[in-house]
Chain A
Amino acid sequence: MSAREPALGSRIAARLSGGLVQFVLVVVGLFWLMPTVGLLLSSLRAPGDIAESGWWTVFTAPAQLTWENYQGVLEDGAITGSLLSTVAITVPATVLVIVIGSLAGYAFAWLEFPGRDWWFVLVVALLAVPVQVALVPVSELFGWVGLFETTAGVVLFHVAFGLPFAVFLMRNFFAQIPKELMEAARLDGAGEVRLFTRVVLPLGGPAIASLGIFQFLWVWNDMLVALVFADSDSPPVTVALQQQVRQFGNNIDILAPGAFLSMIIPLAVFFAFQRQFVSGLMSGAVK
């Protein structure tokens, strides 16, 4: 009998604290959303309004909302053009890292060669190298071979710095393929190339998805690498916007819609593939 009462009491307490938890989470959630909502609403207000009042006035005076800024950005073409540059960098950088990373991952998982594990460890160790270390030497190097200020240069740089993680992820994934499967294929007379393309790659789907999402977001969102290496005639969107930041208040009618446009695709990718994104995180995908 005495055992029941505390149980009841704690259940009430749990119910109460459950309500409290819900309340706290709602408040925190709104708090977390607010900055982004602020950007979105600011992008839908005329620059004159932005200079005079906050975005929250939209709730009391929704008439001020306007597409003006977006029209301006689309007509001007500089930001939309830079979005295309971003795509032109991101897509090849993602595809290449998958291809090259899978090749190397396969070699580390299934091919025999001297010092294999050492090489693998060495490659993975490079995961922690900060990109900053490479800015100066690589700009010189790219200068010599004519890759400076080219899309190809930016792509290669991103691929190189994406490789340690790619190799790590793909090797670990491929290593889980049942040995029997590989042996069977080898006995059937499949060469390594055939084995790779017909057996291993198709099985690598989930890992490739994780890797792809990560590299995609990383390259799309990069500013520093592009700032140094990208063709300044057609910079990607991050650099194009950064140039406007110098006069923040003056250029807010470009910055707010531009920033929002630049977020749409990564956010879409993120929401569509969150599971792969999380599993990438789990395997240590953060640079």
Chain B
Amino acid sequence: MLAAAAALTLSACGGSGGDGGKDDDAPKAKGPNLKGQTVSVAAVWSGPEKDAFRKVLDAFEESTGAKVTLVPAQDPIIGFLESKVAGGGQPDVAMLPQVGAIEQAVANGWAKPLGKGAEEALTTNYSKGWADLGSVDGTPYGVYFKAANKSLVWYNTAVFENAGVEEPKTWDEFLKAAQTVFDSGVTPVSVAGADGWTLTDWFENVYLSQAGPEKYDQLAKHEIKWTDASVTKALETLADLFGNKDFLAGGQSGALQTEFPASVTQTFTGGDQPKAGMVFEGDFVSINIGQTDAEIGTDAKVFPFPAVGENSPAVVGGDAAVALKDSKGAQALLTFLAGPESAEIWAKEGGFLSPNKAVDTAAYPNDVQRDIAEALIAAGDDIRFDMSDQAPQAFGGTPGKGEWKALQDFLKNPKDVAGTQKALERAAAAAYKE
């Protein structure tokens, strides 16, 4: 098994070099022979993301002869896995979207460490920061196959042109731009309040930029409380936006019923009069823009999350592949996912960002995404992982509970900063205790 996996690694590294290499027969990844074996992979993706991932798995099937089934999982994935592990029906591999989920999977004894082949691929192709994120107590478990740059604001260029607004660099400029867009007759910002994770991302960007990375790490580990003054300040800053009914598409109550995909599509449909001018979220927004008629790079552009403090924040997220069974197929798949070909397949589909250094950025479908990807690789270890994804799932990753719920209540009533902090601290205290 190890030999086979190592062979895959070698060819994977070989393929990372050239421009013309893709259509070349010689260095093409030829995986271990897994004919007749089945590998099951659980992921929460649906829609176009699922389709793109399926293409990646098809390539794996082609090179190894294994049959890969994609198991659709529900949020929270840890809970989903729990229900499967209880009966011994867990998939071979799970795509875990949170650092906290990896830790929980390890703590529960479900996760299997990376095999030699996969580990080699990981150290060759990934920066130390990303490798560490997939490790628990020094043992590597996860391969970050897909990354997200969550510090981006996408805007409808027609709206900005009509309002005569430039891309804002700071939070004050951002609010001023929002006001001008509003004056021009368009609601400036689309917030996906129905999906709590987008709200945690809003908070994290403001907090990371305003309070700085040190505080950010402390809060992520719950070493400082959510009632801390730095949190008060960040929430008050956020209330500059959330507290202004005119700035939010549909007002606060409308935002609370807007799901993430709708928050994007409503920003890029409706010609000169979309329901909103800007929408905040990661690079994966491009997938949803792809479902509208808007063209990325001309109709839809992106600017970095405005700096609230000194620097613009760089919050990232990612999905790590973790083996849940000691099977040859599982390890071979992890090795494959740690190599550049797999990432290039999805990169071509769009809405994808790889933390893999070896990936040829020519694979990205447009300049906007290429820039985002190169910025991510360049950021090196200055990145901060999505805080809610580092938190225990009960706090940072469960619909209708914990941080999601507290921030949704905050969006409903942005005046109640103290109440929000109390609710956050209560939920955090309960979740981190365990």
The answer on direct contact between A and B (beta carbons under 8 Å) is: yes
Number of B residues, CB within 8 Å of A = 25
| Assembled-state Cα–Cα distance A243/B73 (Å) | 8
Looking at chain A's contact residues, the main secondary structure is loop
B72 pairs with A148, CB closer than 8 A:
no
> Contacts A139-B83, A233-B69 given: A246-B89 contact, CB under 8 Å?
no
> Contacts A233-B40, A248-B259, A250-B47 given: A243-B72 contact, CB under 8 Å?
yes
A149 pairs with B87, CB closer than 8 A:
yes
> Contacts A243-B74, A246-B75, A249-B259 given: A232-B84 contact, CB under 8 Å?
yes
Cβ–Cβ < 8 Å partners of A248 in chain B = 259
Cβ–Cβ < 8 Å partners of A147 in chain B = 87
Cβ–Cβ < 8 Å partners of A251 in chain B = 46-47
Cβ–Cβ < 8 Å partners of A240 in chain B = 72
A249 pairs with B262, CB closer than 8 A:
yes
| Assembled-state Cα–Cα distance A143/B74 (Å) | 20
CB distance from B260 to the nearest CB of A (A): 7
Q: Pick the contact of B89 from A140, A149, A244 — CB < 8 Å? A: A149
Best-buried of B40, B42, B47, B89 by chain A (most CB within 10 Å): B89
> Contacts A233-B40, A249-B259 given: A243-B86 contact, CB under 8 Å?
no
> Contacts A247-B47, A250-B261 given: A232-B71 contact, CB under 8 Å?
yes
Cβ–Cβ < 8 Å partners of B20 in chain A = none
Cβ–Cβ < 8 Å partners of B288 in chain A = 250
B259 pairs with A247, CB closer than 8 A:
yes
Cβ–Cβ < 8 Å partners of A120 in chain B = none
Cβ–Cβ < 8 Å partners of A196 in chain B = none
| Chain B residue at minimal CB-CB distance from A145 | B87
Q: Pick the contact of A228 from B47, B73, B83, B265 — CB < 8 Å? A: B83
A250 pairs with B262, CB closer than 8 A:
yes
Cβ–Cβ < 8 Å partners of A229 in chain B = 87
Cβ–Cβ < 8 Å partners of B262 in chain A = 51, 249-250
| Assembled-state Cα–Cα distance A143/B86 (Å) | 6
Cβ–Cβ < 8 Å partners of B40 in chain A = 233
Check A205 for interface membership: any CB of B closer than 8 A. Answer: no
Cβ–Cβ < 8 Å partners of B259 in chain A = 247-250
Check B269 for interface membership: any CB of A closer than 8 A. Answer: yes
Number of A-B contacts (CB under 8 A): 64
Cβ–Cβ < 8 Å partners of B83 in chain A = 139, 228
CB distance from A156 to the nearest CB of B (A): 13
A148 pairs with B89, CB closer than 8 A:
yes
Check A146 for interface membership: any CB of B closer than 8 A. Answer: yes
| Chain B residue at minimal CB-CB distance from A139 | B86
CB distance from A154 to the nearest CB of B (A): 12
Query: For chain A residues 230-252, which have a beta carbon within 8 Å of chain B?
Result: 231-233, 235, 240, 243-244, 246-251
Cβ–Cβ < 8 Å partners of A149 in chain B = 84, 87, 89
B46 pairs with A148, CB closer than 8 A:
no
Cβ–Cβ < 8 Å partners of A228 in chain B = 83
Cβ–Cβ < 8 Å partners of A143 in chain B = 86-89
Cβ–Cβ < 8 Å partners of A246 in chain B = 46, 74-75
| Chain A residue at minimal CB-CB distance from B264 | A250
A232 pairs with B72, CB closer than 8 A:
yes
**A-contact bits for B362-399, CB 8 A (1 contact / 0 none):** 00000000000000000000000000000000000000
CB distance from B276 to the nearest CB of A (A): 14
| Assembled-state Cα–Cα distance A89/B208 (Å) | 51
Cβ–Cβ < 8 Å partners of A232 in chain B = 42, 71-73, 84, 89, 91
CB distance from A251 to the nearest CB of B (A): 6
Check A142 for interface membership: any CB of B closer than 8 A. Answer: yes
| Chain A residue at minimal CB-CB distance from B70 | A233
Cβ–Cβ < 8 Å partners of A142 in chain B = 87
Cβ–Cβ < 8 Å partners of B87 in chain A = 139-140, 142-143, 147-149, 229
Cβ–Cβ < 8 Å partners of A244 in chain B = 46
| Chain A residue at minimal CB-CB distance from B73 | A232
Cβ–Cβ < 8 Å partners of A140 in chain B = 86-87
CB distance from B76 to the nearest CB of A (A): 12
| Assembled-state Cα–Cα distance A139/B291 (Å) | 40
| Assembled-state Cα–Cα distance A52/B265 (Å) | 11
A243 pairs with B84, CB closer than 8 A:
no
A247 pairs with B269, CB closer than 8 A:
no
A51 pairs with B88, CB closer than 8 A:
no
Cβ–Cβ < 8 Å partners of B74 in chain A = 243, 246
CB distance from B139 to the nearest CB of A (A): 27
CB distance from B71 to the nearest CB of A (A): 5
| Chain B residue at minimal CB-CB distance from A149 | B89
B261 pairs with A148, CB closer than 8 A:
no
**B-contact bits for A40-56, CB 8 A (1 contact / 0 none):** 00000000000110000
**B-contact bits for A147-174, CB 8 A (1 contact / 0 none):** 1110000000000000000000000000
Q: Pick the contact of A51 from B91, B260, B269 — CB < 8 Å? A: B269
**A-contact bits for B304-332, CB 8 A (1 contact / 0 none):** 00000000000000000000000000000
| Assembled-state Cα–Cα distance A52/B273 (Å) | 13
Query: For chain B residues 71-99, which have a beta carbon within 8 Å of chain A?
Result: 71-75, 83-84, 86-89, 91
| Assembled-state Cα–Cα distance A195/B88 (Å) | 44
| Assembled-state Cα–Cα distance A231/B75 (Å) | 18
Cβ–Cβ < 8 Å partners of A249 in chain B = 259, 261-262, 265
A247 pairs with B260, CB closer than 8 A:
yes
| Chain A residue at minimal CB-CB distance from B74 | A243
Query: For chain B residues 264-301, which have a beta carbon within 8 Å of chain A?
Result: 265, 269, 288, 291
Query: For chain B residues 196-220, which have a beta carbon within 8 Å of chain A?
Result: none
| Chain A residue at minimal CB-CB distance from B51 | A76
Query: For chain A residues 170-217, which have a beta carbon within 8 Å of chain B?
Result: none
**A-contact bits for B45-85, CB 8 A (1 contact / 0 none):** 01100000000000000000000010111110000000110
Cβ–Cβ < 8 Å partners of A247 in chain B = 46-47, 259-261
| Assembled-state Cα–Cα distance A228/B72 (Å) | 13
| Assembled-state Cα–Cα distance A149/B91 (Å) | 11
Cβ–Cβ < 8 Å partners of B69 in chain A = 233
A243 pairs with B89, CB closer than 8 A:
no
Cβ–Cβ < 8 Å partners of B86 in chain A = 139-140, 143, 148
7 contacting pairs across A/B (C-beta < 8 A): A143-B88, A149-B87, A243-B72, A246-B46, A249-B259, A250-B288, A250-B291
Apart from the given pairs A247-B46, A248-B259, 10 other A-B contacts in the complex at a CB distance below 8 Å: A51-B269, A139-B87, A146-B88, A149-B89, A244-B46, A246-B74, A247-B261, A249-B261, A250-B47, A250-B259
10 closest Cβ pairs, A-B complex: A148-B87, A149-B89, A143-B87, A250-B261, A249-B262, A139-B86, A232-B71, A243-B72, A233-B69, A148-B89
